[in-house]
Amino acid sequence: MKAGDVILALSKVSNKERAKNSIWYFKTKKGQYGYGDIFIGVTVPEQRKIAKQFWGLSLAEVQKLLKSKIHEHRLTALFILVAKFDLGGEEVCKQIFNLCIKNTKHINNWDLVDSSTPYIVGGYLSDKPRVILYKLVKSKNLWERRISILATLYFIVKQNDFKDTLKIAEKLLSDKHDLIHKAVGWMLREVGKKDEKVLVQFLDKHKDKMSRTTLRYAIERFSENKRQKFLQEV
């Protein structure tokens, strides 16, 4: 199996009209976060299906896909990596983690980050030092900052561990980008699902520093009265 086989499979289910919609949806105009990205118009279910067929692709061939200018090639590559990570041993998982960290410049849209980071970066660091997340959170690269907070979803859901989520969220409260505001709010909401008291304590301490978007995402599951209380206090 080669990267070219995956590319051919994707091309067979591509759709020009869908590609046009993706260009708009993923904000590819100059000055927008997805500037320059190229789409061929393949649905996510189709990409997952193809990734399942090619999960045995070597890491060298997957990396070729990940470096492609075409969005669907990169996303399918990440779906393959997630599948390989789930089935791999410690050494394979380490190689996949390192591949992702070394290629963050190609994991350069929110769906690419969200579809891979919690499973690979979060999964690998679940029982290891998490220093890399505190380097990424300071990055000038939007997607590396998003990776830093999204990785903690694994710790929240699988380990009931919030400490890194809260530390990284605090560092990102002053971030200017809306996609970071949403990501932080989303992770805080996930913390609240596990322990609402912890979330409320964080909000009470930091609500004046966070964007309204972050706050709205974080309190989405609160009762209407409690939601309004926080919104009126900011």
- What is the pLDDT, as a whole number, of residue 24? 87
CB 91, CB 83: distance < 8 Å: no
Mind listing the domains of the chain with CATH numbers? 1-126 (1.25.10.90), 129-234 (1.25.10.90)
Rounded CA separation 87/133 (Å) = 24
Conformation bin of residue 15: beta by default, left when phi > 0, alpha when psi is -120 to 50: beta
Whole-model pTM: value is: 0.93
* Tens digits of residue pLDDT in 64-107: 999 999 999 999 999 999 999 999 899 999 999 999 999 999 99
* The predicted structure's pLDDT at residue 156: 98
Tokens, residue 78: 């990440």
pLDDT of residue 227: 87
133: which 2 tokens? 């997340």
Query: How far is CA 178 from each of CA 9, 166, 167, 173, 181, rounded to the nearest angstrom?
Result: 35, 18, 19, 11, 5
Q: Which residue has the tokens 């980008």?
A: 177
Helices (H), 54-151: 59-66, 71-87, 90-102, 110-117, 123-125, 131-136, 142-150
Cα separation, 33 vs 28, in Å, equals 7
Which two tokens mark 194? Answer: 């596990």
Query: Is residue 9 a contact partner of residue 76, using CB atoms and an 8 Å limit?
Result: no
**189 — pLDDT class (breaks 50, 70, 90):** very high
Express each pLDDT in 125-155 by its tens digit. 999 999 999 999 999 999 999 999 999 999 9
209 has pLDDT over 70:
yes
Q: Which pLDDT score is estimated for 184?
A: 98
Tokens of 114: 């969200």
Q: If you search the block for the tokens 């791999």, which residue do you land on?
A: 88
Structure tokens given for 35: 């500037």
Please write the tens of the pLDDT for every residue from 30-58: 888 989 899 999 999 999 999 999 999 99
For residue 175 the two structure tokens come to 């971030």
What would the mean pLDDT of 184-213 be, rounded to a whole number?
A: 95
Question: Residue 234: pLDDT above 80?
Answer: no
- Dihedral over Cα of 17, 21, 22, 24: its sign: positive
pLDDT at 1 over 90: no
Non-local (6+) Cβ contacts of 30 within 8 A are: none
Map residue 24 onto helix, strand or coil. Answer: helix
